[in-house]
Structure 1
């Protein structure tokens, strides 16, 4: 009869950032063990709080399913000797499988007969498998950081304090680090007590009675509903950031939302500073009015009930007051530092021992940014703003505020630059040049910020590649993948007429001026091209089929805007135009024969058939417009012009013998196909499409 299985691992408080993945890992390992052990079940549910990881297996079968397995042995030729008796190979196979040779059968496979044996095994009772199985699941779990405790050699995320393991109502006997599994669990550290779980299915209710909400989604719903109710009551807009909600979710066992206030005089500090201090240091949710301006209140979540909330609020207010007082002091002190003095301090901060100081980096950013601005034909005023923004983009790194809150780099730079009298476009660019900071973040809104951002990111990437620092596997200490993805995003969103190879060349030339390149420029350029190719491919793959992406990438991705436009146009055509397959087939026929062509120019005077002339004229009539559409990143127009060649290509192959006996005619026909193929492949390599 099916029974539920409970396995709870009680721990010292686990860091919140580890718990979601640990819970998912426990569930995944449990499911895989059940499947490998041939134990039927309906569902596996995982739970987690700061002090426990748990899993419930619903309706587990009481024994393994029986197994019948057919095993292939040596071929009949090897299995029988000249007298027709079993050979040593056959007898050895029988011993290895634990069967009598008389049970052998012969079956043909691939024209050869082999001996087979059928092995039947009766399923073992689930109760017998659980102790070893659950212990194996526990010991196979991995974490970013592990601990050892006492004299035990075993390592785990935190010391194990208790275990509850039940098969229905029966205790599963297992032990690790001196802790034996039982049928008791522990409630909330202060509000609850030890409690007996009489049956696995009662686990959630038993803990709820001891002030522990073990179901993660239930806790999340409680927090969300309480925050929404408070917001409605007060008319507030409580800014709930998903990553902070996730962290708070794993800091509490029974969530109760409360609010507190702080001195309104602190609102004279920039809003981002206050919000960062509340979120990052105190795990508070900031409170805004309906226009998005910060109010002198905060919301937090207590791990406990609603008793004495006023006392808890006052304690939190006292701690926050100290935090905000520090922030106010740092902010006021930073006003005394002028930008020129701040820039001089960058000369003593090492960026990388082989790439110099932050001051050296800033000078490289300025050189790269100036050349990019010139290449993009920005106005004289915009070029001056790019230069100034590049010069001061890192000055806030030496401020006390950024030292205390590193995540405010750029935010404080913009504020301080504005207060120092810098142009608005320059001040904004100081903040924007860090964008996009992470996946899903915005690209710089202004062209000034976009240019400086590309220069900064490309300087870091080119510098690292020039000294042999190239991301491999999961290793990427300088976040080069994220920065390359950022460059691709900026080029695309601003539709910059800027090729990646131009950006590479500019950055490498600037680095070559400033320090010796440890690797050859050719090697670096190849690695950069491959590296950025993967970023563009990732971008295209977000909404396009793999074969469409491969076809477009094969035609080139140096122009990111063009590659994306071509990919979108091709994906639309593949999905929505059922007749497009015949168009592609015509291009592929051209490509197959073009591979046999040498380097010869087309001579129209050698055309012997009408269809040759018609194809040549059709190609020439659209060629200039087509190449211009490619240049202008108008993939839809380019593909439409190419589609007009299908009919003359089909007519050509229906009436013209390409491999003519006359060598000059044959060469001319191949040259015609080669020219068309060369142009077509500027859009995509259609041979890579899969139908």
Structure 2
């Protein structure tokens, strides 16, 4: 397998968590289909989504599409030749197929032309594959911005598109592709990346681009607070997924509310804490306490 890699990253304004799953599924599906249709070999496709970016890292991509032998069926032999000479029907077929008379063969009473089509280079194909895949994404609530020319999930801030160390020549939503991404919005500006070091360079700039890594960090932050205050924080899967999709560098913060509110039914407190505040209730020895765990984005 090839050890070449390609990277596409789209920087956007905050992504609603309701769009995350759709983007992941569609982007993988569309890029895989386009790579297959373009006969461009690859190993693994890794889609990533964070609150202000999404994209794909293609591992093991071939640098050239495979060569292809094209065989085209033409008119019947009776129509193609008259007294052994090529007819206008055959000459028209050859012109349309960009072929010569010596390329013709006859099988089962029909004429065929066969020619080898040499594969194009990946750097030429990828900008088109990426652009078409992004333009074909469907969203629950797309936005228009600028003078209304562009329509996408949220306004696009930058595009990073690379094949190994080379920048791919591509323009989309009025943004030219480069080898620059952006780190965490409160702490970093531009960050130079490549497909080889993308995830590490982003992490150094306080952006955990892989969802699985953000989930791992969120859970370890919850465990850190559990052990600090000797209590239990049950993990609600839906809330966990929301925190993971709404952050780039999730950090837990312990908060509390007035103790007098503990006289309310636990269900009222839990609904308020989880659904309205997107925070995790804290228990001690099975009883609800007046603590909660919230997540901020950043260290």
Normalising by structure 2, report the TM-score: 0.91
Q: Does 1:268 align with 2:269?
A: no
Instruction: Tell me the residue number matched to 1:63.
Output: 64
3-state secondary structure, aligned to 1:200? coil
CA 1:166–1:55 in structure 2 vs 1: closer, same or farther (change >3 Å)?
Answer: same
Query: For 1:209, which of 195, 204, 208 is the aligned residue?
Result: 204
- CA drift of 1:105 comes to 2.0
Instruction: Tell me the residue number matched to 1:237.
Output: 232
Instruction: Tell me the residue number matched to 1:24.
Output: 25
Q: Does 1:104 align with 2:99?
A: no
Instruction: Tell me the residue number matched to 1:223.
Output: 218
Counterpart CA distance in 2 for 1:20 and 1:8 is 17
- CA drift of 1:44 comes to 1.4
- CA drift of 1:87 comes to 4.1
3-state secondary structure, aligned to 2:151? coil
Query: For 1:122, which of 115, 118, 123 is the aligned residue?
Result: 118
Counterpart CA distance in 2 for 1:270 and 1:2 is 58
Query: For 1:160, which of 156, 161, 169 is the aligned residue?
Result: 156
Normalising by structure 1, report the TM-score: 0.41
Residues 10-409 of structure 1 mapped to structure 2, 5 A cutoff: 10-81=11-82, 83-108=83-108, 113-197=109-193, 199-291=194-286, 293-305=287-299
Q: Please state which structure has a larger fraction of its residues in helix.
A: 1
- CA drift of 1:101 comes to 3.4
Counterpart CA distance in 2 for 1:208 and 1:75 is 64
Counterpart CA distance in 1 for 2:273 and 2:118 is 61
- CA drift of 1:138 comes to 2.2
Q: Answer yes or no: is the 8 Å Cα contact 2:280–2:294 preserved in 1.
A: yes
CA 1:71–1:302 in structure 2 vs 1: closer, same or farther (change >3 Å)?
Answer: same
Counterpart CA distance in 1 for 2:92 and 2:50 is 54
- CA drift of 1:201 comes to 1.1
Aligned-CA RMSD value: 2.1
3-state secondary structure, aligned to 2:160? strand
Q: Answer yes or no: is the 8 Å Cα contact 2:243–2:250 preserved in 1.
A: no
Q: Answer yes or no: is the 8 Å Cα contact 2:239–2:278 preserved in 1.
A: yes
- CA drift of 1:200 comes to 2.0
Q: Answer yes or no: is the 8 Å Cα contact 2:254–2:291 preserved in 1.
A: yes
Counterpart CA distance in 2 for 1:100 and 1:2 is 40
- CA drift of 1:57 comes to 1.4
Counterpart CA distance in 2 for 1:44 and 1:201 is 14
- CA drift of 1:155 comes to 0.5
Counterpart CA distance in 2 for 1:107 and 1:233 is 80
Counterpart CA distance in 2 for 1:99 and 1:201 is 43
Counterpart CA distance in 2 for 1:213 and 1:84 is 71
Number of residue equivalences: 298
Q: Answer yes or no: is the 8 Å Cα contact 1:152–1:177 preserved in 2.
A: no
Q: Deviations over 1:598-646 (max 9, x none)?
A: xxxxxxxxxxxxxxxxxxxxxxxxxxxxxxxxxxxxxxxxxxxxxxxxx
What 5-or-longer segments of structure 2 have no aligned partner?
none
The structure having more radius of gyration, on CA atoms, is 1
- CA drift of 1:146 comes to 1.4
- CA drift of 1:233 comes to 4.6
What 5-or-longer segments of structure 1 have no aligned partner?
306-691
Q: Answer yes or no: is the 8 Å Cα contact 2:103–2:115 preserved in 1.
A: no
Counterpart CA distance in 2 for 1:44 and 1:156 is 23
- CA drift of 1:248 comes to 0.9
3-state secondary structure, aligned to 1:182? coil
3-state secondary structure, aligned to 2:5? strand
Structure of greater relative contact order (alpha carbons < 8 Å, 6+ residues apart): 2
Counterpart CA distance in 2 for 1:84 and 1:173 is 51
Q: Answer yes or no: is the 8 Å Cα contact 1:231–1:237 preserved in 2.
A: yes
- CA drift of 1:225 comes to 2.2
- CA drift of 1:122 comes to 0.5
Counterpart CA distance in 1 for 2:105 and 2:47 is 46
